[in-house]
Amino acid sequence: MAWRGLAQRGWCCGQAWAPPAGGRSCEELTAALGQPRLLGRRFNVFIQQKCGFRKAPRKVEPRRSDTGTSSEAYKRSALIPPVEETAFYPSPYPIRTLVKPLLFTVGFTGCAFGSAAIWQYESLKSRVQSYFDGIKADWLDSIRPQKEGDFRKEINKWWNNLSDGQRTVTGIIAANVFVFCLWRVPSLQRTMIRYFTSSPASKVLCSPMLLSTFSHFSLFHMAANMYVLWSFSSSIVNILGQEQFMAVYLSAGVISNFVSYVCKVATGRYGPSLGASGAIMTVLAAVCTKIPEGRLAIIFLPMFTFTAGNALKAIIAVDTAGMILGWKFFDHAAHLGGALFGIWYITYGHELIWKNREPLVKIWHEMRTNGPKKGGGSK
């Protein structure tokens, strides 16, 4: 038999074997036990134990990602949460992964500016009514006995002392603080990594392009971004207006993330990104392009001032070098994409997009004025 031939050649139970001195050979054990096929799997175990052989335990090697990079590749800086390597699965056809983000970027940008145009129309329409309501409220306050130490009154006083730009970005800052607090909830870590960090290798491609704009893992990262946004809020809202600014800011977050996607696919570095830096770079670049002679200073070095135009040139140079050289502390591609979008919008985009919103506003006006005809009958 085939099994006996293996035993004669010195093989027993699938293992190389030599008879121990003074012991019984595997062939003798086989003859004593009879036909091995009658015992099946139990026979193999019995012979393996009797011959003194035990299969060594198999070492479990850690799973590697498809890209072959270690988990340290995703821990780019302290600004990014520690992400497991199995959280991202790069596509074997990376160019195809950019189709959906491109369509989302174009569609979201169009919806953002269309909504902003309608928002502005509704705001202008309600200003007259708000004016008369304000007069009535002031008259009631003058005849109503005032309460000392009224907390609500102090809040209203503080709110009214803010500029239009500061009131506009207050909601953005509050949203960033709320998402930052969500990062501190351990049970939400998987959800936060899935939806609030952007990567072209993630299973969810489109929604993180917007949600990651409000996401910060590091307190220093969030504080720095929100300080810059607060500092430039008055200037950018005076230039664009509240409604147009919101459209530009949200679109800039999505566009800067798409530029980051393109760079990651081109270089094969699929680490996650998060933060409002891309959108804030758009705000910074727009203000510096519109007011290039304005004087700026660093918060920790207020004695050194420089023009806004020179600051913008330096920022673009640093981000370009970082993108080419592969610096990993910041997402330089997102920064550069946001800055270029801000320059383009102030130079050309305002005329091409915002100045051509009249057809949409007229359609909305007709819908609001006429409305559905009563009776529902046709003539």
CA proximity to 11, closest of 46, 53, 43: 53
Positions marked active-site: 277, 335
Residue-wise pLDDT tens digits, 60-103: 444 443 333 333 444 455 666 665 544 455 556 567 889 999 99
Question: Which range is least confidently modeled, 122-136, 152-166, 281-295?
Answer: 122-136
Residue in this structure with the two tokens 């946001």, named with its chain if needed: 338
What integer is the mean pLDDT of 43-62?
45
**pLDDT over 70, % of the chain:** 68
Domains of the chain: 95-135+181-370 (1.20.1540.10)
CA proximity to 294, closest of 353, 236, 368: 236
Q: How confident is the model at residue 11 (pLDDT cuts 50, 70, 90)?
A: very low
| Distance (Å) of CA 274 to CA 154, 176, 196, 325 | 36, 11, 7, 20
- State residue 141's pLDDT score: 57
Residue in this structure with the two tokens 């009563």, named with its chain if needed: 374
CA proximity to 113, closest of 335, 368, 361, 288: 361
